C-alpha cells in the first residue's frame, strides 16, 4: 500500500511545531507533520498521547498555543470550527455525535449545510429557489446513502440505529459536505470484525474513488498498517516516529512506547 | 385503520419531500380546512368562534416558542414580553399613523424580532438555567420600559385602544368577522413554521439542540443560528401580540405578564417540545382548559356546593385542576400530547393486528 497515492502529491495539511496546553498539562508539544494530497494518514499512539487533540486543533475546536496549522496554503490555526468546515475539512467523532432526533437523511442533509444558502425568509416560503436547492442537495445526499448502503434506513431516526450503523451515518454526514480533507477519530472503535471490514472498505473507497485525503486515528494496528500511506506515532504529546507503516513498525521508539521494553521485535 | 402508508411510491424527491406526501393526509388536511373555514363559521355562534379565535392566537404564540424551546433547545421565560412589544408597536402604528393591518402585523413582528435580537446578543452566550434567568430579566425590563414610557404605552392606564382591522373597506368588528382574519394569519404562520423546520434553517436549529459541538464542526455558526431562532421566535410572539390586540380591541400590558409567558411554556411542554402538532394541541389544551373547567363547574358544581360559594370555588378549582393536569401529563407522557397522538396512531396503523 505504500507510496501509491501518497508520494509526490502536494501538501494538503501541514502542522508546524504545534503545541497545546490544558492548564499545566502539555497535551501536545511541538508536533510537525505533513499530510499529502490523496493519501491516508494515520495517527497512532497510546491513550493520552494527544492524537485527538491534534484532530481537534485541525478542525478548529481548539486553537494551538504555539506553531501553525496550514490547510491548502491557508493558516487555519485561529479559525473558528464553523469556518473550517466551509474550507473543506470535515470530521467524525470518537464518541458518536449524531443529531439523534433527526433521521439519517436529515443528518446527511445537515452535512451539506455549508454548501446550501437558503435564508430564513426563503425557508419560510419554501418556494422556488429554496425548494430547488433542497431537491438538488437531496440528490447528492442520496448518492452517499447509496454508497454507504443506508437506503432502507434513510427515514429512521439516527438515535435508534445500532452502534456500527451510527458510525457509518456519521461518516456519511462528514462526506456530505464534500470535504477535501476528512478527519476520522477512531472510526472502527468498538466494532466487531465484520463491521470493521465494512468500514475499512468505505474508507478506502472514499480515498480511491473520490480522491479525498484522509487523516485518521485508530487503535487497530492491523487496519492502520494495511491501509495507511504514512503513519505518525505519538506518545506523551510528542511525535516519536513517522514514516511508512513498515518503517514505523520497526522503529525501536515505537516498540518502547507500546510495550515499555526494547526486547520485542514486532508490534503485536 | 384508514391510514395506510404502503402502496404509494413517490417517483421524485420533490414529491417525497412534500409536507404531506400521502394522499390520505392531503384529504385529511382538505377536510380540516373545509371544517374550519366553511362548516364551523356557519354553524357556531359568536361565543364559540371567539374561543377558536383565542386558540388561533395561542397557536401562533406557541409555534414561536416551540421554535426556540422545542427545536433549538434554548429556553425563554420572556415570551409574553415580546408579544407586548408587537402589540404596542401595532397599536401605536394603527392609531398614530393610521396604518392598515397588513402593515401593522409584520411591523409588530419585526419590532419584536429586533428587540429579541437585542436581548439575545448578550443572553444567548449563556445556557440552560442562566439563559432562563436572563430571559426572565428581559420580561421584567421590557414590561417596565413599556409601562413607564407614555409615548409607547399611551399614558396612565398603559393601554391603547386599537381600531378594528379593515379588509376591503369593511371593518371587522365582531368575533365572527375577526374569525377569518385570525384564522388566515394562523394558517400562514403554521405553514411557514412547517416550512422553516424542514429546510436548512430548521435543521440547523435542531442540530444545535441535539449536538451543539457537532453542529459547529459541520459548519453551523452556533451563536448566529441561536440568534436567528430567537428572532424568529420573537417575530411569532410579536405577531401573536398584534393578533391579540386586534382581538381585544385594546393593547394592554396586563395581558402580557410573566404568567402569560408561563402559560405559553406550559403549552409547548404539554403539547410536545419540538413538534408543530404539539404546539397546536398545547395551545388548544391550555386555552380550552379554563373554559371547560368553568363550564363543568357551572353545570355540576351546584351538586357539591351552594350557588353563592360556587363563583369563588371555580376560580380556585381552575388553578388546582390546571396544576394537577400539568403534573399528570408530565409524568404519563413527558413528550406531550403530540406523542400521545402518535402512539394512538401507531396503534391503529396496524390495527387489528398488533404487528
Query: What would the pLDDT profile of A96-146 be if each residue is shown by its tens digit?
Result: 889 988 999 999 999 998 888 888 888 888 888 888 888 889 999 999 999
Residue B342 lies in a domain: no
Checking ipTM against 0.90, whether it exceeds it is: no
* B296 found inside a domain: no
C-beta of residue A95 within 8 angstroms of C-beta of residue A78: no
The domain tally of chain B equals 1
CA of A204 to nearest chain B CA: how many angstroms apart? 22
Q: Do B242 and B87 contact (CB within 8 A), yes or no?
A: yes
Q: Is residue B226 part of a domain?
A: yes
pLDDT band at A4 (very low <50, low <70, confident <90, very high): very low
Higher pLDDT among residues B17 and B215, named by residue: B215
Is the CB of residue B200 less than 8 Å away from at least one CB of chain A? yes
Q: What is the mean pLDDT of chain B?
A: 86
- For residue A5, is pLDDT > 60? no
CA distances from A100 to B117, B197, B274 (A): 29, 16, 13
- Please tell me the CATH code under which domain A1-88+179-268 is placed: 3.40.50.300
Ordered strands of the A66-71 beta sheet: A25-36, A11-22, A66-71, A74-75
Q: What is the DSSP letter of A219?
A: S
State yes or no: pLDDT of A3 exceeds 50: no
Mean pLDDT of A65-69: 91
Residue with the bigger pLDDT between A255 and B237: it is B237
Cβ pair B282, B336 in contact under 8 A: yes
Highest-confidence range of A181-195, B51-65, B314-328, by mean pLDDT?
B51-65
Q: What range defines the domain where residue B129 resides?
A: 20-256
Domain with CATH 3.40.50.300 in chain A: 1-88+179-268
Q: Taking CB atoms and an 8 Å limit, are A134 and B199 in contact across chains?
A: yes
Residue B223 inside a domain? The answer is yes
**CB contact (8 A) between residue A85 and residue B219:** yes
**For residue A23, is it left (φ>0), alpha (ψ between -120 and 50) or beta?**
left
A 202-221 residues inside an 8 A Cβ radius of B: none
- Closest Cα in chain B to A111: B218
B128 Cα distance to chain centroid: 22
Buried b (16+ CB within 10 A) or exposed e, A1-28: eeeebbeeeeebbbbbebbbeeeeebbb
Beta strands A66-71 and A11-22: pairing type?
antiparallel
Q: If you count DSSP H runs as helices and E runs as strands, how many of each does chain B have, helices first?
A: 16, 4
Which pLDDT value is given to residue B18?
Answer: 78
Task: Note the maximum CA span of chain A.
Answer: 70
What confidence tier does B4 reach under pLDDT thresholds 50, 70, 90?
A: low
CB neighbourhood size of B181 (10 A): 19
* B141/chain A closest Cα distance in angstroms: 28
Please answer yes or no on whether A91 and B217 come within 8 Å at the CB atom: yes
B280 in a domain, yes or no?
no
- Antiparallel, parallel or unpaired: β A181-185 and A89-91: parallel
Element (H, E) at A35: strand A25-36
pLDDT in tens, A226-247: 999 999 999 888 898 899 998 8
Q: How far apart are CA B205 and CA B194, in angstroms?
A: 13
Is A61 in CB contact (< 8 Å) with chain B? yes
In sequence order, the 6+-apart residues with CB closer than 8 A to the CB of A139 are: B13
Residue A206 confidence (pLDDT): 93
Instruction: Express each pLDDT in A17-38 by its tens digit.
Output: 899 998 888 889 889 999 999 9
Average pLDDT (A209-229) is: 91
Distances (CA, A) of A177 to A89, A119, A182, A261: 9, 18, 10, 44
- The 10s digit of each residue's pLDDT in B18-47 is 777 777 788 888 888 888 888 888 888 888
Amino acid at each position: 500500500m505504500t507510496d501509491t497515492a501518497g508520494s509526490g502529491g502536494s501538501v494538503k495539511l501541514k502542522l508546524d511545531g504545534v503545541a497545546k496546553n490544558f492548564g499545566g498539562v502539555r497535551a501536545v508539544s511541538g508536533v510537525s507533520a505533513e499530510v499529502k494530497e490523496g493519501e491516508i494518514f494515520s495517527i497512532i499512539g497510546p491513550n493520552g498521547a494527544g492524537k485527538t487533540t491534534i484532530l481537534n486543533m485541525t478542525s478548529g475546536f481548539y486553537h494551538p498555543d504555539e506553531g501553525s496549522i496550514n490547510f491548502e496554503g491557508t493558516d487555519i490555526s485561529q479559525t473558528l470550527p464553523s469556518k473550517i468546515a466551509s474550507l473543506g475539512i470535515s470530521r467524525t467523532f470518537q464518541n458518536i455525535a449524531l443529531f439523534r432526533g433527526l433521521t439519517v437523511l436529515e443528518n446527511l442533509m445537515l452535512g451539506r449545510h455549508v454548501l446550501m444558502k437558503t435564508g430564513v425568509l426563503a425557508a419560510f416560503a419554501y418556494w422556488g429557489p429554496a425548494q430547488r436547492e433542497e431537491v438538488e442537495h437531496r440528490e447528492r445526499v442520496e448518492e452517499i446513502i447509496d454508497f454507504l448502503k443506508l437506503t432502507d434506513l434513510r427515514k429512521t431516526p439516527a438515535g435508534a440505529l445500532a452502534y456500527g450503523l451510527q458510525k457509518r451515518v456519521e461518516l456519511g454526514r462528514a462526506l456530505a459536505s464534500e470535504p477535501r480533507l476528512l478527519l476520522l477519530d477512531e472510526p472502527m472503535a468498538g466494532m466487531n470484525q465484520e463491521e470493521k471490514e465494512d468500514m475499512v472498505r468505505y474508507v478506502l473507497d472514499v480515498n480511491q474513488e473520490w480522491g479525498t485525503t484522509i487523516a485518521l486515528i485508530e487503535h487497530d494496528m492491523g487496519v492502520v498498517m494495511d491501509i495507511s500511506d504514512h503513519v505518525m506515532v505519538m506518545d506523551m504529546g510528542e511525535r516519536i516516529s513517522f514514516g511508512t507503516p513498515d518503517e514505523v513498525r520497526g522503529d525501536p521508539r515505537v516498540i518502547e512506547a507500546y510495550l515499555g521494553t526494547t526486547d520485542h521485535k514486532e508490534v503485536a | 385503520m384508514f391510514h395506510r402508508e404502503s402502496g404509494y411510491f413517490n417517483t421524485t424527491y420533490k414529491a417525497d419531500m412534500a409536507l404531506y406526501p400521502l394522499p390520505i393526509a392531503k384529504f385529511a388536511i382538505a377536510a380540516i380546512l373545509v371544517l374550519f373555514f366553511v362548516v364551523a363559521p356557519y354553524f357556531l355562534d359568536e361565543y364559540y368562534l371567539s374561543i377558536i379565535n383565542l386558540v388561533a392566537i395561542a397557536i401562533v404564540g406557541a409555534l414561536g416558542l416551540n421554535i426556540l424551546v422545542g427545536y433549538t433547545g434554548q429556553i425563554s421565560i420572556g415570551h409574553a414580553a415580546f408579544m407586548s412589544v408587537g402589540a404596542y408597536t401595532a397599536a401605536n402604528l394603527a392609531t398614530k399613523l393610521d396604518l392598515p393591518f397588513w402593515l401593522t402585523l409584520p411591523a409588530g413582528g419585526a419590532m419584536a424580532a429586533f428587540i429579541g435580537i437585542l436581548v439575545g446578543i448578550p443572553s444567548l452566550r449563556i445556557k440552560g438555567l442562566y439563559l432562563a434567568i436572563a430571559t426572565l430579566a428581559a420580561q421584567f425590563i421590557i414590561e417596565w420600559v413599556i409601562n413607564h414610557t407614555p409615548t409607547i404605552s399611551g399614558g396612565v392606564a398603559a393601554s391603547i385602544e386599537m381600531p378594528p382591522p379593515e379588509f376591503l373597506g369593511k371593518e371587522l368588528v365582531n368575533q365572527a368577522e375577526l374569525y377569518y382574519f385570525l384564522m388566515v394569519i394562523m394558517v400562514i404562520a403554521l405553514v411557514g413554521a412547517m416550512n422553516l423546520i424542514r429546510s436548512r434553517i430548521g435543521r440547523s436549529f435542531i442540530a444545535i439542540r441535539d449536538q451543539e459541538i457537532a453542529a459547529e464542526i459541520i459548519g453551523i455558526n452556533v451563536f448566529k443560528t441561536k440568534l436567528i431562532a430567537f428572532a424568529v421566535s420573537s417575530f411569532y410572539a410579536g405577531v401573536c401580540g398584534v393578533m391579540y390586540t386586534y382581538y381585544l380591541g385594546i393593547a394592554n400590558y396586563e395581558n402580557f405578564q410573566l404568567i402569560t409567558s408561563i402559560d405559553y411554556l406550559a403549552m409547548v411542554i404539554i403539547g410536545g417540545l419540538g413538534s408543530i402538532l404539539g404546539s397546536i394541541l398545547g395551545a388548544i389544551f391550555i386555552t380550552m382548559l379554563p373554559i371547560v373547567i368553568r363550564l363543568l363547574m357551572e353545570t355540576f358544581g351546584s351538586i357539591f356546593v351552594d350557588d353563592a360559594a360556587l363563583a369563588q370555588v371555580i376560580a380556585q378549582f381552575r388553578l388546582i385542576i390546571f396544576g394537577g393536569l400539568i403534573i399528570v401529563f408530565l409524568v404519563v407522557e413527558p413528550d406531550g400530547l403530540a406523542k400521545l397522538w402518535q402512539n394512538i396512531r401507531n396503534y391503529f396503523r396496524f390495527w387489528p393486528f398488533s404487528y
